[in-house]
């Protein structure tokens, strides 16, 4: 019998002790894996929001409501509709330092007979758009034709299906990659399609006109600033030059999100650290108690020829096996808790949330497992070291 099979026997034949250690480490792994999964999902969410907003400045109608409802649309996926005259676009382009100005027009479909689903429809100008099209290109290699739509990953419609919006049939040609933001619940089309839909909506009594004589309306202009120009300066010039519109730096919109994200991340990280320290202390106590209980057993092992190193190896093997099993159980439990409740977590946090890909997840799992086994090893190594310092003869005399 070598140290390994002795360790196995010790574990199997003391099931209570083994279960307690395993559960303890499972708890540690659960919190580390679950926590880091949430944090990394939030970070990915922010990252994808950043790239989806890939503009420096966004020009919105000057109404008090428009900025709020734009942010809600972005983060929570609520529908919104606000308009300004299309002439604003020309005004934006006149400002020095503006490299690209890409208009978008929004329309909210209704939860009524005429529409299959209540969604945000976003029309973009294919000539100038630099925000939506790269995203569409990830899943659809051609550009959107008339009455074609690309749908966000959370819209219930498959490629090849027809989506009815204001009694108009739209062909779903692409499903977009998830962003973890409100944009996942939107439907995208080109400007011609949008104008068609706006007219159809008009007939249903949903007006988009600001005044009776305005021909064309838009909802937002995405602005890319030329290299070498100060974004803040361009922003204030836009605010001065474009009438009835507000220019907002996307950064300032994002800082709000990233601030609360940092807050959540910090809380979760702190929680992980606290659990980690707590688990380390509990494990240290558990191993110290176990070592005290097994003093005589260990002295007997020394008596029959086990070296100090051999004893440490035995204790480490036992703890490694326990924490490996515990770690796997904990990670499994965390996965079982976090994945089914992804939607709940998203809505509760109100922040962009994007579950990482399989590779990252595996990495996080390995990390959590490593941390767990490390803590188990640290705690047991400390116990083993303390144990092996005394002469076995001294221990054998005690309570003989």
Partner 1 sequence: MILRAENISKRYFRRTGQANYFEAVKPLSLALEPGSLTLLMGRSGGGKTTLLHMLSGLLTPTEGKVWLGDTDLYALPDAQLSRLRGEQIGVVPQGRSAVDTLTVLENVLLPGQLCGRPAKQETALYWLEALEIGNLADARPAALSGGELRRMAIARVLTQDPQVILADEPTGDLDDASTRLVLSILQKAAHEQGKTVFVVTHENDAREYADRVYRMDGGSLS
Ligand X SMILES: Nc1ncnc2c1ncn2[C@@H]1O[C@H](COP(=O)(O)OP(=O)(O)OP(=O)(O)O)[C@@H](O)[C@H]1O
Residue 243 found at the interface with ligand X (CB under 6 A):
no
- Which two three-digit tokens encode residue 230? 């100060």
Residue 252 found at the interface with partner 1 (CB under 8 A):
no
Smallest separation, CB 322 to partner 1 (Å): 15
> If you compute the radius of gyration of the chain from its CA atoms, what whole number of angstroms results?
30
Using the minimum distance from each CB to ligand X, give the nearer residue, 82 or 298: 298
Residue 293 found at the interface with partner 1 (CB under 8 A):
no
- How many residues comprise the chain? 400
Using the minimum distance from each CB to partner 1, give the nearer residue, 119 or 301: 301
297 binds, among ligand X, partner 1, none (CB under 5 to 8 A by kind): partner 1
Q: Quick one: which of 62, 100, 300, 333 contacts partner 1 (CB under 8 A)? A: 300
Residue 397 found at the interface with ligand X (CB under 6 A):
yes
In angstroms, rounded to a whole number, what is the distance separating the alpha carbons of residues 18 and 14? Answer: 6
In angstroms, rounded to a whole number, what is the distance separating the alpha carbons of residues 197 and 195? Answer: 5
In angstroms, rounded to a whole number, what is the distance separating the alpha carbons of residues 319 and 283? Answer: 10
Residues 333, 22 contacting (CB under 8 angstroms): no
Name the burial class of residue 360, with classes exposed (0-12), middle (13-18) and buried (19+) by CB atoms within 10 angstroms of its CB: middle
Using the minimum distance from each CB to partner 1, give the nearer residue, 112 or 400: 400
Residues numbered 357 to 396 that lie near ligand X (CB under 6 A) are 394
Residue 399 found at the interface with partner 1 (CB under 8 A):
yes
Residue 309 found at the interface with partner 1 (CB under 8 A):
yes
The distance in angstroms from the start CA to the end CA of the chain is 27
Residues whose CB falls within 8 Å of the CB of residue 346, separated by 6 or more in sequence, listed in order: 180, 353
- Which two three-digit tokens encode residue 342? 């992804």
Using the minimum distance from each CB to partner 1, give the nearer residue, 9 or 142: 9
Residue 316 found at the interface with partner 1 (CB under 8 A):
no
Residue 306 found at the interface with partner 1 (CB under 8 A):
yes
Q: Quick one: which of 134, 145, 263, 393 contacts partner 1 (CB under 8 A)? A: 393
Name the burial class of residue 198, with classes exposed (0-12), middle (13-18) and buried (19+) by CB atoms within 10 angstroms of its CB: buried
What DSSP character marks residue 363? H
Using the minimum distance from each CB to ligand X, give the nearer residue, 64 or 394: 394
Using the minimum distance from each CB to partner 1, give the nearer residue, 48 or 317: 317
What's the Cα-to-Cα distance from 400 to each of 96, 294, 299, 390, 393, rounded to whole Å? 93, 14, 12, 16, 11
340 binds, among partner 1, ligand X, none (CB under 5 to 8 A by kind): none
Using the minimum distance from each CB to partner 1, give the nearer residue, 17 or 208: 17
Q: Quick one: which of 138, 236, 307, 343 contacts partner 1 (CB under 8 A)? A: 307
Size of the site for ligand X (CB under 6 A): 2
Residue 166, CB-side half-sphere exposure with 13 Å CA sphere: 21
In angstroms, rounded to a whole number, what is the distance separating the alpha carbons of residues 158 and 175? Answer: 7
Q: Quick one: which of 214, 308, 320, 332 contacts partner 1 (CB under 8 A)? A: 308
358 binds, among ligand X, partner 1, none (CB under 5 to 8 A by kind): none
In angstroms, rounded to a whole number, what is the distance separating the alpha carbons of residues 24 and 285? Answer: 12
Do β-strands 217-218 and 84-85 pair in parallel, antiparallel, or remain unpaired? antiparallel
Using the minimum distance from each CB to partner 1, give the nearer residue, 13 or 359: 13
135, 139, 140, 141: CA torsion to nearest 10: 90
Residue 142 found at the interface with ligand X (CB under 6 A):
no
Q: Which residues contact partner 1 by CB under 8 A?
A: 1-2, 6, 9-10, 13-14, 296-297, 300-310, 391-394, 396-397, 399-400
Q: Which residues contact ligand X by CB under 6 A?
A: 394, 397
């Amino acid at each position: 019998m070598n140290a390994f099979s002795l360790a196995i026997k010790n574990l199997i034949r003391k099931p209570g002790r083994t279960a307690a250690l395993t559960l303890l480490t499972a708890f540690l792994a659960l919190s580390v894996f679950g926590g880091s999964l949430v944090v990394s999902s939030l970070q990915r969410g922010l990252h994808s929001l950043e790239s989806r907003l890939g503009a420096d400045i966004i020009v919105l109608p000057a109404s008090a409501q428009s900025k709020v409802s734009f942010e809600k649309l972005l983060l929570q996926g609520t529908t919104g509709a606000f308009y300004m005259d299309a002439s604003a676009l020309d005004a934006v382009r006149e400002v020095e330092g503006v490299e690209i100005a890409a208009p978008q027009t929004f329309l909210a479909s209704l939860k009524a007979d005429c529409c299959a689903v209540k969604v945000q429809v976003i029309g973009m100008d294919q000539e100038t758009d630099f925000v939506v099209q790269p995203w569409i290109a990830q899943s659809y290699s051609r550009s959107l034709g008339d009455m074609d739509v690309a749908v966000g990953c959370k819209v219930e419609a498959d490629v090849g299906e027809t989506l009815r919006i204001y009694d108009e049939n739209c062909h779903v040609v692409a499903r977009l990659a998830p962003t973890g933001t409100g944009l996942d619940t939107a439907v995208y089309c080109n400007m011609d399609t949008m104008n068609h839909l706006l007219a159809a909506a008009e007939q249903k009594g949903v007006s988009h006109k600001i005044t009776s004589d305005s021909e064309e309306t838009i909802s937002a202009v995405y602005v890319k600033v030329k290299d070498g120009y100060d974004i803040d300066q361009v922003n204030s010039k836009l605010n001065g030059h474009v009438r009835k519109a507000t220019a907002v730096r996307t950064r300032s919109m994002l800082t709000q999100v990233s601030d609360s994200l940092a807050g959540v991340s910090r809380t979760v990280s702190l929680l992980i650290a606290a659990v980690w320290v707590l688990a380390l202390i509990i494990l240290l106590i558990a191993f110290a108690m176990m070592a005290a209980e097994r003093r005589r057993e260990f002295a007997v092992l020394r008596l029959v020829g086990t070296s100090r190193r051999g004893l440490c190896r035995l204790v480490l093997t036992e703890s490694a096996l326990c924490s490996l099993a515990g770690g796997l159980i904990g990670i499994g439990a965390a996965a079982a808790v976090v994945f089914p409740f992804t939607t709940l977590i998203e809505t509760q946090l109100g922040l962009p949330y994007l579950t990482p890909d399989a590779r990252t997840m595996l990495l996080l799992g390995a990390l959590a497992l490593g941390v767990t086994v490390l803590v188990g090893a640290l705690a047991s190594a400390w116990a083993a070291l303390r144990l092996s310092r005394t002469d076995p003869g001294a221990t054998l005399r005690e309570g003989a």
